[in-house]
Amino acid sequence: MSPETASIEETGVVICGGGPTGTALSVLLGILNIPNIVLEREKTITTDPRGIALDEDGIRILQSLGIYDRIYTEIGTCMEKFNFVTGDGTDPRKKPLLSMKYVTTEGGTGHVGFICHKQPAMEKAIRDQIQRTPSCSLRTEATVTGVSEDEGYAYVDYVDAQGSSHRIKAPFLVGADGKTGYVRKMYLEPRGIVMAKSERTSYEETWVALNWQITLPDEKSHPDFPLWRLGYTPQEVYDLFFPRDFRFLCNPKRPSVCGRFGPPADRLWRFEFVVQKDEDGQQMAKFEETSKIIYPYITHPGSRYGLAQPVRFPEDCIKTLRSRPFSFVARSCNKWALGRVILAGDAAHVFPPFGGQGIASGFRDAAALAWRLAFLHRNPKADHHKVLAAWYRERKQQLDRSLAATVRNGEYVTESDPFKVFLREWYMWAVQLIPAYRKQIELGARAAGMTKYQHEEGMPFIPEMEGGLLLPQVYAYDFKTRRVCFTDDLIFAPHKTGLFQLLILPDSVDDCSRLINGINEVDRVSNNLLSSNEATILLQSTKVPTGSTAFPQQDIARLAAGNEFAADSLLCRNRPDPIGYDEYRLHKEIRGRRYVILRQDRFVFAACDTIVELKGAAGRLAPSLSLPS
């Protein structure tokens, strides 16, 4: 039966691509009760760990998907430091030129700066959430064969594993099927959507990426290994040859990156190196070539241990899981949406590897897109062209910021000009003698503070009211559950259905009555886009008694201190204590305002001082989203 004659299935959103971006978008839509179907060509999740680093924004989005409890138990572990090691030697333990410390919570999300994750485990956790969400459906072995549109719908034709043809229609189609996926390559590119090199950088290289799985040697399996008689344990040997911290090897002859990833018990190790201009990537990915490059890094001089001969980690304890060349380049599409078809993740943009931004950027796309698609689902008369254009113009701003940080990391690693290398090393050595500058370097990209969009016409926030700011996340003590929690989980609790949420920030319990007086009027002036019944009260103090039950009709909590979070065996299990945590970070970023209107993607629509300002801001919600009055 042809797609034209078959019955057409209908849903709210069709997502082509079941990778991290597509599945995250599905769960986020499901949380907002938007029916959606994910079509994925492959039968199962690939076992090949591709991406291995996820920044704190990405961790925060995993939290929003409801899988925080699996992050540090199944998915990964804290990536504590990025060490930049210079010189053309092969000792990754050499003192680094600089270190970026990502073990702290100084980035403003309540999370560490980076985790090193095992992508298959992360994808499984997200897919498990799809299975638990009634409005979500994931269909594997579904090969897209056609896309079309009319005024009200996008249509997707696909073939299932048995060769049967199907057609689905939905108001919107999202192509999250990667840089070579069907939606962009076959449907949008003929309509003028092109993926071009970023104006910010001309970087383009081929690298080889290897994943190793390490088995611990011991005296029984390797009785002749020389370090046993010096008293070393199997774990100590592993730590010697595969150091804990991630390393950027700024070797002008062969720039490389290496480090552990995934849960510690899996003992996974990544090594990436540049393919030179006169080399073939496929050839360089073969064992004969990779061993020449990598084995010197796991061969230590005997003099280090008082031995006459070099010591190499046992080769039969290394299993190669992948060895493949990749083209690393920065590219972005000129538009991410046309008509009712949208691109997200790698289908819309691709990154070089140096900032761990590939998956995180796709997650940000999904978080920013999900609530807009939910809004359009609930308000079909809104101008979707304007809503989607504002979405990708915002995202391009953040993409440029992420790319700038990525390029800086890349410049440190890949610089080969001897004079520039000399200047870089002396400059970085000298500037770190100044404590304030050293601190900025250690913070890395987080030193720039929370993301804040520059307003352009059509963007849904009020710039003169701190709008466009990614609201920091802090810890709270929830008086209803009598537990410490993340503020996102309180503000965007599952029982709340509004696409915008109201956060109220009194200094004390006594201040609550004044601030909540009259907030019910925001329902009407916001065209019911904001519900006063879903408002969250967060007392700006850690001293309020934990037994307080004031205003039970609202969600009320107080700030929680870092030591309270650290004491929670579930929240802080397998992750570092919150070093550098500032419980007043949220209050400081919004400059002490008392009311915050928040979008579902955690960005501020407006922050206000008075109830009059709040009503005025609420009245601008509908017009900012092109909703007819």
pLDDT in tens, 43-86: 999 887 788 999 999 999 999 999 999 999 999 999 999 998 98
Question: Are 503 and 386 in a shared domain?
Answer: no
165 falls within a domain: yes
Helices (H), 90-233: 119-132, 182
Does the pLDDT value for residue 100 go beyond 70?
A: yes
Question: Are 350 and 257 in a shared domain?
Answer: no
Residue 5, pLDDT score: 44
Task: Please give the single-letter amino acid code of residue 463.
Answer: P
163: left (phi over 0), alpha (psi -120 to 50) or beta: left
| Confidence at 470, pLDDT banded by 50, 70, 90 | very high
| Segment 104-126 mean pLDDT | 95
Does the pLDDT value for residue 315 go beyond 90?
A: yes
| Segment 147-157 mean pLDDT | 97
| Segment 282-294 mean pLDDT | 96
Question: Are 319 and 337 in a shared domain?
Answer: no
Pull the structure tokens for residue 529.
Answer: 């886009």
407 falls within a domain: no
CB-CB contact of 446 with 458 (8 Å):
no
Question: Are 383 and 304 in a shared domain?
Answer: no
| Segment 550-566 mean pLDDT | 83
Buried/exposed code over 389-398 (b: 16+ C-beta within 10 A; e: otherwise): bbbbbbbbbb
| Segment 145-150 mean pLDDT | 97
The share of the chain scoring above pLDDT 90, in percent, equals 75
Looking up tokens 């909590």 gives 557
Question: Are 151 and 250 in a shared domain?
Answer: no
For residue 220, the Cα-to-chain-centroid distance in whole angstroms is: 43
Q: How far apart are CA 365 and CA 391, in angstroms?
A: 9
| Confidence at 421, pLDDT banded by 50, 70, 90 | confident
Residue 2, pLDDT score: 44
The residue among 468, 560, 572, 426 whose CA lies nearest residue 72 is 572
- Element (H or E) spanning 511, and its range? none
In the sheet with 331-333, reading across from the earlier edge strand, the strands are: 195-197, 331-333, 349-350
Residue 329, pLDDT score: 76
- Element (H or E) spanning 309, and its range? none
Phi/psi of residue 213, nearest 5 degrees: -110, 130
CB-CB contact of 505 with 598 (8 Å):
no
DSSP strand pairing (256-261 vs 246-250): antiparallel
Question: Are 546 and 476 in a shared domain?
Answer: yes
For the stretch 4-28, pLDDT in tens is 445 899 999 999 999 999 999 999 9
Instruction: Burial-class residue 495 by CB neighbours within 10 Å (0-12, 13-18, 19+).
Output: exposed
| Confidence at 202, pLDDT banded by 50, 70, 90 | low
Tally of CA atoms within 13 A in the half-sphere of 57 that contains its CB: 27
Q: What does each C-alpha distance from 555 to 266, 504, 558 come to in angstroms?
A: 41, 10, 10
70 falls within a domain: no
Rounded to 10 degrees, the C-alpha dihedral 126/129/131/135 comes to -110
For residue 327, the 8-state DSSP code is E
Split into its structural domains, the chain has a count of: 3
| Confidence at 182, pLDDT banded by 50, 70, 90 | very high
Q: Pick the range with the lowest mean pLDDT from 182-186, 329-333, 413-417, 537-541.
A: 413-417
Question: Are 97 and 122 in a shared domain?
Answer: no
Q: How far apart are CA 55 and CA 57, in angstroms?
A: 6
pTM, rounded to two decimals: 0.94
57 falls within a domain: no
| Segment 396-402 mean pLDDT | 85
Question: Are 30 and 149 in a shared domain?
Answer: yes
- Element (H or E) spanning 53, and its range? strand 53-55
356 falls within a domain: yes
Length of the chain: 629
Q: How far apart are CA 469 and CA 463, in angstroms?
A: 9
Pull the structure tokens for residue 279.
Answer: 């080399």
Residue 628, pLDDT score: 75
Q: What does each C-alpha distance from 334 to 177, 417, 505 come to in angstroms?
A: 17, 33, 40
Whole-number average pLDDT of the chain: 91
Pull the structure tokens for residue 276.
Answer: 């030179």
Residue 591: CATH number of its domain: 3.40.30.10
| Segment 334-343 mean pLDDT | 97
The residue among 198, 261, 112 whose CA lies nearest residue 406 is 198
457 falls within a domain: no
| Segment 334-346 mean pLDDT | 96
410 falls within a domain: no
Residue 417, pLDDT score: 76
Question: Are 375 and 320 in a shared domain?
Answer: no
User: Quick check: helix, strand or coil at residue 567?
Assistant: helix
Residue 166, pLDDT score: 97
| Segment 428-452 mean pLDDT | 85
Residue 391: CATH number of its domain: 3.50.50.60
Does the pLDDT value for residue 3 go beyond 60?
A: no
DSSP β-bridge partners for residue 149: 154
For residue 213, the 8-state DSSP code is E
For residue 603, the 8-state DSSP code is B
Does the pLDDT value for residue 330 go beyond 70?
A: yes
Helices 56-64 + 358-378 axis angle, to 10: 40
Where do the DSSP E strands lie in 475-565? Answer: 475-478, 483-486, 500-504, 536-539, 555-559
| Confidence at 408, pLDDT banded by 50, 70, 90 | low
| Segment 456-474 mean pLDDT | 97
| Segment 314-337 mean pLDDT | 91
- Contact partners, residue 463, CB within 8 Å, separation at least 6: 454, 455
Greater pLDDT, 532 or 47: 532
Residue 394, pLDDT score: 96
Tally of CA atoms within 13 A in the half-sphere of 627 that contains its CB: 20
41 falls within a domain: yes
What is the span of the domain harbouring residue 235? 76-115+204-329+417-445
Question: Are 477 and 572 in a shared domain?
Answer: yes
Question: Are 275 and 288 in a shared domain?
Answer: yes
Question: Are 390 and 494 in a shared domain?
Answer: no
Q: How many CB atoms lie within 10 A of CB 89?
A: 12
